[in-house]
Amino acid sequence: MAILALSLSSVPSILLAALGLGFVIFIHELGHFAVAKWCDVNVERFSIGFGPVIWSRTWGETEYALSLIPFGGYVKMLGQDDMDPSQETDEDLAEDPRSYTAKSVPQRMAIISAGVIMNLLTSVLFFLFAFKLGVEFTPAVVGYTRPGDPAWVAGLRTGDEFTQVNGRTGRPLRFIDLRQEIALSSGDVHVKGIRRIYDGVKMTEEDFTTTLVPKTGDIIPTVGVAPSLGMRLPQAAEGEKATVTIPGTAAAKSTPPFEGGDEIVKIDEVDISGYADLQNVLARRRGQEVTFTVKRGKKGETPTTHEIKTPPNYFHTLGLKMDIGPITAIQQGSPATTAQPPLAVDDKITHIISETDGEREVGADLNALELPDYLATLHGQEIKIRVKRSTSGQEESIECTITPDDRPGWTETPMGPSVPLTIPAIGIGYQVMPLVLKVEEGSPAFGEVNRGGKPSFIKSIEFFPPISKEAEPITFDNKSEDPVNWAYAFWAMQQHPEAEVVLQISEQDSGQEYTTKKLTPQPRDQMGSEWYLPIRGIPLNMLTERRKAATYGESLSLAYNRTKSSLLEIYLTLRNLATGRVSPKALRGPLGIAETAYHFSEKGLGDLLWFLGLLSVSLAVLNFLPIPVLDGGHMVFLIWEGIRGKPASERVMIAANYVGLCFVLCLMLWVLSLDIFMHLLGWWKM
């Protein structure tokens, strides 16, 4: 969790967030207070916050107070005190007609439930005004699928737009709807959507249906999918002179240069309506200079149109040819599954055999990192892939006949240390081992790696300057059960083409270790052996849209449905917490709530009201859980009293309240520790 920046520009947002949070608590306690007064109960104190009173004023018989710990509030009535539960069984207090205990069970039920009812009513109002003002959301469009994870295995692609996720339907769906259905599911998640396809000539759309099997065992169930990027470049930081594009890439050499806030609308003659279009067109024209058409202009101004010419972007390499590792994942319905015989997990590709190039050995001849692009060039042809496969403890060589699809390589990138490199054309993910088989003569690493003329292991790679503030050397352990893929480090080179690297080497035969000098990756732009990246080095903002109701009637309908959905989501969250499908580490405490409120207030009043609506629903549900000291615990005792005709004994009331108080305090300490030690300081692992 980033610490909130206390700049002058942040102060209004912080104050707005604080007022919003305080108002939600105030509304809850106001419900208790109003109904208690209506039932003629003597309210001794109305407090926002707990603990020592820091400000108070008495009007009439009631003291109105602000207390030190701003994590809630309370209404103290005559004859009712959570810190002294014996008051509810005190016969003397019960004789006072204005005490809480002197009132009938239905009256006390009304008082106890009033806070929850007020929160539910105000949540509808919060959502109503939020929809009328407009709420920013991230559409349920796929921007990235993590290779090897369930979404990738199921065949989801960049640009896929969901129109149905389990029981939720509509267009547009929000990405958070998808995440919630996955996180709160008790099993598989069934999805439908629309896929955009570009064949190099035209864009087409087709419907798709698939089933996702969430991966459990982490904080929440996941499928490995991220939201899409939009078409707008981020604004440069205030006072920043550097280009908004990535230094050292083709985009940084564009003429005229890109500017912050530019919106991409066309590449050459192709209209671009989303990130998938951008990715597909650039991947298929990777070796060409392209012309971007962008719209430029400040908000409220009429945008102007500009054409920007951008040259090809080359892979930057050290000249290392790496050993290929085993296949680790296979996509459903891909050419790998329809091959004869099908490819299998743990196969190791050794040769590619085609009519075009004959037989090529993967490793010393055909670089393992170039396989995604190489097989894409063979699309539509029937080729053979020779693999080594272990069967019954013995290794054998098998030839698989396969026809690659027309899907460019390096469009599914290894964004994590152990994430496999994929070959989209055949639908597999595989490891690239940190074993250098050969070093190209004249390359940056020639004479620095494989000094003894034999293959050697890369133990680590370090970037200069560091690629992030927290960056440490990327280390490779070939004996690990979850090894770091060399492709991950190689992709980092492409994202930081101006960085130098230092390798720590271990010779395979002798075991001798040494460290190279600083090496500068060079672009693969030599005539006849060019290797083009499918991207140009243009950073983009996240894709967002704004939902705004046209009428108050529409807004009320949306608000009512949103409140119902929020209630269901909280129930499912509690259920999955109880069953262990969702980890308790997924919870956030008051610091997390405050940070989230600040985040929404930065976006605007409509977005803050949206969050306050969610918070109101959460407060209503959590307060009505059957836990002593909470409203739900009081309701349980009142139901018991209504059935038996008399209240529970003093001993039972005291014991239950202390157990409930201990539970609530432990829960508060737990979520506070998560806020501080996991999200703020990063000491605990997620």
pLDDT digits (tens, 9 = 90+) for 124-143: 999 999 999 999 999 999 99
How crowded is the C-beta side of 119, counted as CA atoms within 13 Å?
Answer: 28
Give the C-alpha separation, 586 to 575, whole Å: 13
Structure tokens, 533: 């990246």
> Distance from CA of residue 650 to its chain's centroid?
49
Separation between Cα atoms, residue 44 and residue 278, nearest integer Å: 65
Contact present, 424 and 407 (Cβ < 8 Å)? yes
Contacts of 453-456 with C-beta under 8 Å, sequence gap 24+, read 454/507, 454/508, 454/509, 455/323, 455/508, 456/505, 456/506, 456/507, 456/508
Q: Which of 29, 448, 569, 595 is catalytic?
A: 29
Instruction: Let me know: does 377 contact 406? Beta carbons within 8 Å.
Output: no
d(CA 65, CA 83): 17
Please calculate the CA angle 250-255-259 and round it to the nearest 5 degrees. Answer: 85
Q: Is residue 29 annotated as a catalytic residue, yes or no?
A: yes
Cα separation, 380 vs 399, whole angstroms: 18
Q: Are 49 and 630 in contact (CB under 8 A)?
A: no
DSSP, collapsed to helix, strand or coil, labels residue 632 as helix
CB within 8 Å of 578: residues ≥ 6 apart: none
Q: Which residues make beta-bridge pairs with 50? A: 69
Low-confidence residues of the chain: pLDDT under 50: 1-9
Max distance between CA atoms of the chain, in angstroms, equals 100
User: Which of 332, 330, 326, 328 lies closest to 388, judged by CA?
Assistant: 326
Task: Judge contact between 167 and 344, C-beta under 8 A.
Answer: no
pTM: 0.84
pLDDT of 329 reads 96
Report strand pairing: 316-317 vs 161-165. unpaired
Question: 328-345: per-residue pLDDT in tens?
Answer: 999 999 999 999 999 999
Compute CA distances 669 → 259, 564, 574, 580, 665, whole Å. Answer: 47, 30, 19, 20, 6
Q: What pLDDT is stored for residue 170 in this prediction?
A: 65
Cβ count within 10 A of residue 532:
21
Residue 586 CA, chain-centre distance (Å), reads 13
